[in-house]
């Protein structure tokens, strides 16, 4: 039993977690390794990358939920580059809609959208309102990756009547660059779910994250923590 969890989880309210893997679309091999895990991880795929569409189709074939991992303007732009297809605060409504629709075309049948970078864009109510209205028309939900503590994305989504969720734990940011550190973050996510019934975490396709997931996911299942697609935790 890992030292950072005390006893077996309380199964009173069922503990459910979603784990979203961001930044997919570069490497089909790492996507296949994630698909080998017998758990419903959610695949957040960047648009316009060499393998974006093929990874999306492969994930769908394996019954994994997919998101458009939508590039948005970060703090520090343009030195911090969110990549091709990024939405910028300075863009007018027509440009934002056109670019968003183009990005959506590159990812077949996404269940929803989450932001890539976006620490500046998600603070802009006008810009987020444009994006979220398009998603509402498409019947898509929005997951706020919470790259800024001042994001207004979730609040605007709820105001518009859109299904939405918020990331609670980053599994592998900053100093969490080894499997043990990522495992600790996964258990942190599980503890939040034990208290609140649900929790959403975001990780990235690093080798150490993959190793931590291999080790930890079977233990979560044995301890009564259910991994579910993120769509089941948005409301």
Secondary structure (DSSP) of 14-61: PEEEEEEEEEESS-HHHHHHHHHSSS--EEEE-TTSTTHHHHHHHHHH
My answer on whether omega of the bond before 78 falls inside 30° of 0, hence cis, is yes
Q: What is the mean pLDDT of each run of 10 residues along the chain (235 residues)?
A: 41 81 97 97 98 98 98 98 97 99 97 99 99 99 99 99 98 83 97 97 97 97 96 97
Decide if 1 is inside a domain.
no
Residue 173 is predicted with a pLDDT of 81
Q: What pLDDT does 14 receive?
A: 86
Q: What is the pLDDT of residue 175?
A: 63
Is 5 within the bounds of a domain? no
Q: Quick one: pLDDT at residue 174?
A: 67
Cα pseudo-dihedral 196, 18, 49, 101, rounded to 10: -60
Flag whether 158 is in a domain.
Answer: yes
Structural domain including 209 reads: 15-233
How many domains would you assign to the chain?
Answer: 1
Q: Is 10 domain-assigned? A: no
Strand-pairing partners, residue 42, are 20
Instruction: Please tell me whether the overall predicted TM-score, pTM, comes out greater than 0.85 for this model.
Output: yes
102 assigned to some structural domain = yes
pLDDT in the model for residue 12: 44
Domain assignment of residue 25, yes or no: yes
Is 3 inside any structural domain? no
Which among 101, 177, 115 is positioned nearest to 148, based on CA atoms?
115
* CATH code, domain carrying 96: 3.20.20.370
């Amino acid at each position: 039993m890992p030292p950072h969890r005390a006893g077996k989880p309380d199964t009173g309210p069922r503990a459910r977690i979603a784990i979203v893997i961001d930044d997919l679309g570069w490497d089909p091999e790492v996507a296949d390794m994630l698909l080998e895990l017998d758990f419903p991880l959610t695949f957040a795929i960047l648009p316009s990358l060499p393998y974006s569409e093929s990874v999306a189709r492969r994930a769908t074939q394996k019954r994994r939920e997919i998101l458009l991992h939508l590039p948005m303007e970060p703090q520090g732009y343009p030195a911090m580059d969110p990549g091709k297809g990024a939405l910028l605060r300075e863009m007018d409504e027509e440009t934002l809609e056109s670019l968003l629709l183009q990005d959506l075309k590159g990812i077949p049948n996404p269940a929803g959208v989450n932001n890539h970078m976006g620490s500046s864009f998600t603070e802009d109510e006008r810009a987020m309102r444009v994006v979220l209205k398009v998603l509402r028309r498409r019947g898509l939900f929005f997951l706020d990756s919470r790259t800024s503590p001042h994001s207004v994305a979730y609040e605007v989504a709820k105001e518009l009547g859109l299904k939405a969720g918020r990331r609670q734990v980053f599994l592998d940011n900053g100093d969490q660059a080894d499997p043990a550190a990522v495992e600790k973050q996964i258990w942190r996510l599980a503890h939040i779910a034990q208290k609140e019934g649900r929790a959403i975490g975001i990780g990235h396709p690093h080798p150490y994250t993959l190793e931590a997931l291999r080790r930890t996911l079977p233990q979560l299942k044995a301890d009564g923590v259910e991994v579910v697609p993120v769509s089941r935790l948005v409301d």
